[in-house]
Every structure is written in structure tokens, then in C-alpha cells.
A and B are shown apart, each in its own frame.
Chain A
Amino acid sequence: MTVVVPVGRLDFAASTAFQAEVERVLAAGGPGALLLDCAGLDYVSSAGLRVFLIAAKGCQRGGRVLALCALQPAVREVFDLSGFSRLFAIHPDRAAALAASGMA
């Protein structure tokens, strides 16, 4: 499993680096699951959502499992309003995400 930890604010400026990191992990390939641990992420705009969508589509193409965990209230509400909460497996914390993937 690969864990990516976006921290702080995923606004238009920050989403470029996040996209590069997600694309690096996707390009590395492999069958392992990808976990995006959002415990330290307190803001996401549509620019950040776009990168989550890239991750979801890339994992789907590669046959990889993608999971999210620890969404903070503002991020959770943006996911809910966008319909993104239904597109991802979202776990309350990292331990739950690892248990669900059989990696605990």
C-alpha cells in the first residue's frame, strides 16, 4: 500500500504539487492499494477535487484499490456537496482504512 498525505490547504496553487505526487504514484504502477490520508487536510476547492478525481480514475484504470480516510469537517462537506462521497471508499481513520484493506 502507498499512503499519500495531503496537508493544509488544497487550493488552486497547492493542487499542482498534489497532482504531481498522485501521478507519480500512479505511474509507479503495481497492484498495491493507494490510501489518501486526509487527517491534516483542512481545505479543498474544486482544483483539489480535480486531483482526487484523477486519482480515482487512475486507480480504476490500473485495477488498484483507492481509499480515503480522516476527512475533516470542511473537506467532508465539500465531498458531500460534490457527490464525491459516493465515489470513494472513505474510512474514519488510517487504522480503519488499513483494516479494510487487510493490511492492519
Chain B
Amino acid sequence: MIERRSSVSGEAAQLPTLSGFLRAFWSEAGLPAEGAWPFELALEEAFMNVVLHGSPGDRVAAVDVVLALDGDALTLTLSDDGPPFDPLGIPSPDTDAPLEARRPGGLGVHLVRRLMDQVGYARIAERNELRLRRRVTTAPPPA
């Protein structure tokens, strides 16, 4: 079990900090590089949702990200002290719609749902907590 935590303010400028945190975790855990992107994407989408929805007015949310590798399952937990907001309640867009009917929005959460094996949201102790879990390949593919 490897578990690491990063705490940042809920501002867009902190996204590179979290991307760097994920990459450092990936190296430390010795995970193959090609498996990182679904978690990079899930982290970006979840964090940007907090940036957009979790900081009304001048208030800036405090965000904690925990990465925990347990066997071959990696769990990403993102929590924030913003107002109650369940990103999993955002409806998925119609991905069969033609171009004329496509609007931006909703795709981020849709991608997270599709890329992760398990997703869950809870409001715990005045904090939003989003838990995302997916199996990872722990050994590099044979050469």
C-alpha cells in the first residue's frame, strides 16, 4: 500500500501542481507510464469541477487529493470544503448526437465515469468527497 496526499487551493493555477503530484506518485510506485493518463484526466476533470462549482464569490475551496495504491487498484480521492456539489449528478451528454446538436459541457464527468471502474460521491463532515477507483497494470508489458 502506497498512499500520498496533496493539498491545494481550488484555483485553476493549481492544476499543474496536482498533475505533478500524480506523476511523482506514478514514478514512486513504479507504475508503467502509459497507464497514467486516465487518472490524469480524472484528476483534471474532478479538480476543475471544484474550481468552477466549489468556490462561489471570492471564497476559494480547500482541496485535498489522496492517491492510494492497494495491490492492483488505484484509488483517487478528491475532497473539498465547498458547498454541496455532486459532480456525478451531471447528466452525460448524448454522445450519438450529430455535430449540430453537440454542445460543450458534461463531457468531463462522462469521461471519468467511463474510464474509472468505480465512482462514488459522498458529503462527509461538510466536505464533498469524490472517490474514483480503477485497476492499474503494475508490471510493464513484456518487451
Where the two chains meet, the residues of A that have a C-beta atom closer than 8 Å to any C-beta of B are 11-13, 42-43, 45-47, 49-50, 53, 56-57, 60, 73-74, 78, 81-83, 86-87
- Secondary structure of the B contact surface, majority rule: helix
**Contact status A13-B99, CB under 8 Å:** no
Whole-angstrom CA separation of A81 from B95 in the bound complex? 8
Within the complex, what minimum Cβ distance (angstroms) separates A17 from chain B? 14
Q: Once the chains bind, are A11 and B19 in contact (CB under 8 Å)?
A: yes
- The 6 nearest A-B residue pairs measured at CB: A83-B95, A46-B108, A46-B107, A50-B104, A74-B37, A81-B114
What is B's interface to A at a CB cutoff of 8 Å? 12, 15-16, 19, 34, 37, 40-41, 44-45, 48, 93-100, 102, 104, 107-108, 110-111, 114-115
Closest residue on chain B to residue A60 by CB atoms: B99
Q: A78-B41, A81-B114 are in contact. List 4 more A-B contacts (CB 8 A).
A: A12-B15, A43-B41, A60-B99, A81-B111
CA distance A90 to B95 in the complex (A): 17
Chain A residues with CB below 8 A from B100, complex form: 60
Q: How far is the CB of A104 from chain B (nearest CB, A)?
A: 26
